[in-house]
Amino acid sequence: MSWNYCYEKAGDRCPHGYDVISKDGDGGNSMAGGGASGFFGSAGNTRSLMISCKA
């Protein structure tokens, strides 16, 4: 997955634009999370883009 893909998806979710809050990734990152269905984790090359949609 490329950064362009992430930005394209952000644009799809935020039709009035967005601000980038945080951008991490490209190598050696670990991620963990959980929810109603359980806990998951992964390691490897990951990218994370946190955005805030404009009103």
pLDDT, tens only, 21-39: 998 876 555 556 766 677 7
Task: Determine the 3-state secondary structure of 20 from DSSP.
Answer: strand
Residues 6 or more apart whose Cβ sits within 8 Å of residue 38: none
> Hey, which bits of the chain come out as E strands?
18-25, 29-35, 38-44, 47-53
At 46, the pLDDT band (50, 70, 90 cuts) reads confident
| Stretch 32-51: mean pLDDT | 73
Report the mean per-residue pLDDT for the chain: 81
Q: What is the pLDDT of residue 3?
A: 86
Q: Where exactly are the structural domains of the chain? A: 3-53
Please check whether residue 16 is in contact with residue 54, taking contact to mean a CB–CB distance below 8 angstroms.
yes
Q: What is the pLDDT of residue 21?
A: 94
| Stretch 39-45: mean pLDDT | 64
